[in-house]
Every structure is written in structure tokens, then in C-alpha cells.
């Protein structure tokens, strides 16, 4: 950029240029900051009625939190309660890379909740990564949370990470999702689970089927409460579509 005097003469004296340049840079930085202003946390976000919070969250536009607000949310997200889920929901409204790192770091702790149903913050974090702009390295880390040798130890969280990775275009997680559909049916004898068994798998089956159908551009016909035959047939149908549309080397 070349500075020009008000009278149109080419250039300012060197002494003036040296004094004006810092001011010019500061003005440009201020303009950039004004285009993407940070914001503080809404008052009562962690205490208001759940319906009020849901209404607020749905109306919230994407934008960056202040450093203090992001730190507060990141700390709250480490909990095992409703506040931790709310914190992740609010974090997810900030599309910046530091927040993406916070979401990934939350998952990469690979911690097991003291009881099933208390991993809502991690499930929400994984879901939030599905449509964020990720670097290649971040996509690799997300996929690593779904696949062996070191997936997330909680099945519901692991499947949600796979769902997010598939939404990011990584088909290497598709066989895991199909294996999820076969869990607790006779077909799992040929495609055995590589996770610790749990009694109820309706939720991860639902998420796996929905993600596969969306990725493959087909109807989601899978019913987690359907007969064994229905579940095996749908798993086979989605596996056939995967074989037709995705090269083996991409899976």
C-alpha cells in the first residue's frame, strides 16, 4: 500500500510515513475487529428455564465469544450436568478455530462418565463438529475418536464422532456405522462389535442409520425397534449402496 498526500503529490516525507504507518495499521485492525465483534455470555444462561435457554440458543446468531466467555464455557463444558451441555451448545455458535479446538479437546480426554446419560456434553460436542470448517488435521483427529486403535471409550460418543466424521466426508467410518446397525442381531456374529457391550443401543443405531442414509442419498428406513430381519436387511442395503458409490480405498 502506498500513501498519497492530500494534494495528490506522490508520497509523504519519510518522517511522516513512519509516524502514519502505525496509525494506519491500528485503524485497519480496528476495522477488522468491528466487522467481527466479540460478545459476552447472556445473563442467566446457566440458570434460566430449559425452554428459555432453548429459545435463546435457537435465536443466537453465529459469532465469536470474548476470550473470557469462551474460557468460562470451556470450563463449564467439563461437567456432567445440564450446564455442561448448555456450555457446549453456546460454544458451538462460535465458528472460530480456537473453539473447534476446545470441542475436540473435550472429546480427546476420552473420559467415561460415571453413568450412562451423563455424557451429553461430549455427544453435543461431536455433533457440533459435523458441519464446522475443519482442517485436515482436525478431521483426522475426529476420525481417530471413532476408529480403532483408540476410539472414545463411550459407545454413544464414539458413534456420534463417526457420524460427524462421515458428514465431513470421511467414509472410513462407514463400516463402523454399519456394524452398529447389526449389533444385537444374528448378523453381528459375522461382523462382531469391537466395543464393550451395553444393554440399550437404540440411540446409536438411530444416529448411525440416519448418517449413512444422508451420506448415501437414500431414505432412512431403519427402525431400531424393528425385527432382527428388518435391521439386518437395512444394514445389508446400506452396505450395498456404500459399495456401489464409494471406492474400497476410500473406506
**Quick check: is 156 in a domain?**
no
Radius of gyration (C-alpha) of the chain in whole angstroms: 24
- Counting residues of the chain whose pLDDT is more than 90, the rounded percentage is 82
Q: What is the pLDDT of residues 227-241, one digit of tens each?
A: 999 999 999 999 999
Q: What is the pLDDT of residue 247?
A: 76
**Quick check: is 70 in a domain?**
yes
- Counting residues of the chain whose pLDDT is more than 70, the rounded percentage is 84
Q: What is the pLDDT of residue 8?
A: 39
Q: What is the pLDDT of residue 32?
A: 42
Q: What is the pLDDT of residue 178?
A: 98
pLDDT band (50, 70, 90) for residue 249? low
Neighbours of 42 (CB within 10 A): 14
Q: What is the mean pLDDT of the chain?
A: 88
pLDDT at 181 over 90: yes
* CA pair distance 77, 99, nearest whole angstrom: 12
Beta partners for residue 65, in sequence order: 39
Are residues 133 and 52 part of one domain?
yes
Q: What is the pLDDT of residues 34-87, one digit of tens each?
A: 456 899 999 999 999 999 999 999 999 999 999 999 999 999 999 999 999 999
pLDDT at 29 over 80: no
Q: What is the pLDDT of residue 246?
A: 82
**Quick check: is 133 in a domain?**
yes
End residue of a domain, out of 140, 160, 181: 140
Are residues 123 and 204 part of one domain?
no
**Quick check: is 126 in a domain?**
yes
Are residues 135 and 176 part of one domain?
no
Q: What is the pLDDT of residues 4-23, one digit of tens each?
A: 333 333 343 444 334 444 44
One-letter-per-residue 3-state SS of 100-121? HHHHHHHHHCCCCCCCCCCCHH
Are residues 192 and 115 part of one domain?
no
Are residues 133 and 205 part of one domain?
no
Are residues 113 and 72 part of one domain?
yes
pLDDT band (50, 70, 90) for residue 2? very low
Q: What is the pLDDT of residues 204-229, one digit of tens each?
A: 999 999 999 999 999 999 999 999 99
**Quick check: is 218 in a domain?**
yes
**Quick check: is 165 in a domain?**
no
* CA pair distance 29, 25, nearest whole angstrom: 6
Show the cell assigned to 71.
474460557
* CA pair distance 62, 85, nearest whole angstrom: 18
End residue of a domain, out of 87, 120, 140: 140
Domain that holds residue 129: 42-140
Are residues 109 and 50 part of one domain?
yes
Mean pLDDT of 194-213: 97
Are residues 127 and 68 part of one domain?
yes
End residue of a domain, out of 140, 162, 191: 140
Are residues 207 and 247 part of one domain?
yes
Structural domain total, the chain: 2
Amino acid at each position: 500500500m502506498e500513501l498519497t498526500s492530500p494534494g495528490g503529490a506522490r508520497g509523504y516525507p519519510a518522517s511522516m510515513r513512519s509516524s502514519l504507518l502505525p496509525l494506519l495499521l491500528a485503524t485497519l485492525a480496528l476495522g477488522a475487529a468491528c466487522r467481527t465483534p466479540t460478545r459476552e455470555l447472556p445473563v442467566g444462561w446457566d440458570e434460566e428455564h430449559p425452554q428459555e435457554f432453548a429459545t435463546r440458543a435457537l435465536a443466537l446468531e453465529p459469532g465469536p465469544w470474548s476470550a473470557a466467555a469462551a474460557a468460562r464455557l470451556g470450563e463449564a463444558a467439563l461437567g456432567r450436568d445440564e450446564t455442561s451441555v448448555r456450555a457446549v451448545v453456546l460454544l458451538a455458535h462460535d465458528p472460530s478455530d480456537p473453539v473447534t479446538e476446545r470441542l475436540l479437546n473435550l472429546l480427546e480426554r476420552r473420559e467415561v462418565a460415571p453413568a450412562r446419560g451423563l455424557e451429553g456434553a461430549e455427544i453435543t460436542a461431536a455433533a457440533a463438529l459435523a458441519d464446522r470448517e475443519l482442517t485436515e488435521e482436525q478431521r483426522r483427529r475426529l476420525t481417530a475418536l471413532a476408529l480403532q486403535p483408540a476410539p472414545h471409550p463411550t459407545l454413544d460418543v464414539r458413534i456420534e464422532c463417526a457420524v460427524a466424521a462421515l458428514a465431513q466426508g470421511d467414509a472410513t467410518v462407514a463400516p463402523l456405522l454399519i456394524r452398529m446397525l447389526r449389533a444385537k442381531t444374528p448378523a453381528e456374529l459375522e461382523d462382531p462389535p469391537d466395543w464393550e457391550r451395553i444393554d440399550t443401543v437404540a440411540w446409536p443405531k438411530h444416529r448411525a442409520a440416519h448418517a449413512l442414509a444422508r451420506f448415501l442419498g437414500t431414505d432412512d428406513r431403519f427402525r431400531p425397534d424393528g425385527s432382527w430381519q428388518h435391521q439386518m436387511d437395512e444394514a445389508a442395503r446400506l452396505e450395498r449402496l456404500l459399495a456401489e458409490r464409494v471406492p474400497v480405498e476410500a473406506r
